[in-house]
Amino acid sequence: MKKRTPLLWLLWFCLTLTGGGALAATMYYGGDYRSIFLIGKTTDGHHQIEMACDACHTDMFGGIEGLQKGCMNCHGDELKAANDSHPRSKFVDPRNADRVEKLDARFCVTCHREHQPGITNAMAVTMPTDYCALCHEDIAKNRPSHEGLAFETCASAGCHNFHDNRALYEDFLEKRHAEPDFKDVLLVNLVTWTPSEENAKKKPTVLTAADADAPAAHLGAPEHIADWALSGHATGGVNCSGCHQPRKRTRPDEWVAAPGADVCATCHAPEVKTFTEGKHGMRQRDGLWVSRDDAFGPFKSANLTPMTPALARLPMKSDAHDTALTCNTCHGAHKYDVVFAQVEACESCHADDHTQAFRMSPHNSARDREMAGELPKGSGVTCATCHMPRHLLRDDYGGEQVIVTHNQNANLRPNEKMIRSVCADCHGLKFTIDALADPALIARNFKGKPAHHIESIDWVENRMRERARQKQQ
């Protein structure tokens, strides 16, 4: 036995080294095997990238500061754009040290902790839902209307949001409290936008099928050329080489058979950027526009494969489970049919009640009438109208551009964000707030009237009447 002891020790050492190396390789190279390191189920917002541990754990020894860096890498721009009534700057100010003792909002993980499904509530909040009481327990002194209200309803009754209350500010409610449920003119904003006179002069040369500049060896099927000739690319003067030879000047012999989102980003940077921020494209965030080195450091991920419906937690159609979600999934490889992308592309994967009810909704009825020429352009509402709204961008040189937000989550966290960007185009504020607070109505894709009523506008109207009464005295 004594002679065999060194061999046993050597065997133990080799097995330990092999096992440790395998674990280290798993952590370093990523992949599905990383799941063995998960300490608990991740939230619906992050489960797609749970194998990209480095996305959140940016520094092995960084502690809470390292986690904060990971949060800001993805959510920093969103927080900057929000009209935040609880900004981080308020809590890092030494004069507000007493606030930090109650709620340390300097760090996202104070309220949003991953891998703790047992205490995770809506919006990935892991704090007890009455956290507003920590600082606002005496709110009824200034707001008698709030007397007796439970604090866990602050963020769930269509009233308050911790980070952005713009759709619910009192002055906003006062300004729009008397709006009718349906406005006289129902038009979606920016659908009929036209460029300024100066930009309109920059008309590109419209290309035809005869202008296709693909080499003979790569010309492809005639139907591909025909689709391209009818697309916005041909109308905008973008030839085959524009996508398939992105480095034509430096590598004239290179031909990219299947251009990826990095090529799309050369002309559609805002769309690609927002695509990689949403659930459809967040797994492809690395290697595209986000390969940056800013104040928070470089973004790193595990080179994940594109999202597929099989990975989703929402109901999806079984025949679409293996569909990889890329730009071409919704837009096609040559036709780039934006009409198809607005509704039919969504229906090809999603099988939830809200999506399945769209065809019977008043929104779709208006869309059908618009397409039939019975209503003006912009009267119809599609899936993209609400979940991928248009925004007008202006640069420092006076240029203007309408972009389509491809981060469908931007209006869903929480859904009151839709009020200013979408719903207010056609509907009154009171009707909109009630509708967005009615889960059953949402499931029916807004067919019918809201069964819920949010009292916030009622309180505002009461205060307006009281002020008017005091002025008359």
Question: Across 211-220, 368-377, 408-417, which has the greatest mean pLDDT?
Answer: 368-377
Distances (CA, A) of 323 to 306, 318, 345, 418: 9, 10, 12, 29
Evaluate if residue 5 carries a pLDDT over 50. Answer: yes
Tokens of 272: 């690609």
What pTM was estimated for this model as a whole?
Answer: 0.85
Mean pLDDT score, 207-223: 90
CA dihedral 105, 109, 110, 116 (to 10 degrees): 160
CA dihedral 34, 40, 43, 46 (to 10 degrees): -20
Distances (CA, A) of 322 to 174, 258, 329, 352: 49, 19, 12, 18
The rounded radius of gyration (Å) of the Cα atoms in the chain is 27
Question: Comparing C-alpha atoms, which of 257, 249, 247 is closest to residue 217?
Answer: 257
In one letter, which amino acid is 220?
G
At 300 the pLDDT is 40
C-alpha 225: how far from chain center: 33
Backbone angles phi, psi at 182, to 5 degrees: -125, 130
Residue 239 · residue 213 · CB < 8 Å: yes
How does pLDDT run across 49-95, given as a tens digit for each residue?
Answer: 888 888 888 887 889 999 999 999 888 888 888 888 888 888 999 99
How does pLDDT run across 305-343, given as a tens digit for each residue?
Answer: 899 999 999 999 999 999 999 999 999 889 888 899 999
How does pLDDT run across 244-257, given as a tens digit for each residue?
Answer: 998 888 888 889 98
Question: Comparing C-alpha atoms, which of 109, 153, 124, 110 is closest to residue 42?
Answer: 124
At 164 the pLDDT is 82
The C-alpha angle with vertex 255 and arms to 250 and 260, in degrees rounded to 5, equals 100
Question: Comparing C-alpha atoms, which of 161, 216, 172, 62 is closest to residue 460?
Answer: 172
Question: Comparing C-alpha atoms, which of 236, 244, 235 is closest to residue 213?
Answer: 244
How are beta strands 297-298 and 400-404 bridged, if at all?
unpaired
Q: What share of the chain is helix, strand, coil (3-state, %, to 5)?
A: 50, 5, 50
Q: What is the rounded CA–CA span in Å between residue 13 and residue 442?
A: 60
Least confident of 250-264, 346-360, 373-387, 435-449: 250-264
Evaluate if residue 454 carries a pLDDT over 70. Answer: yes
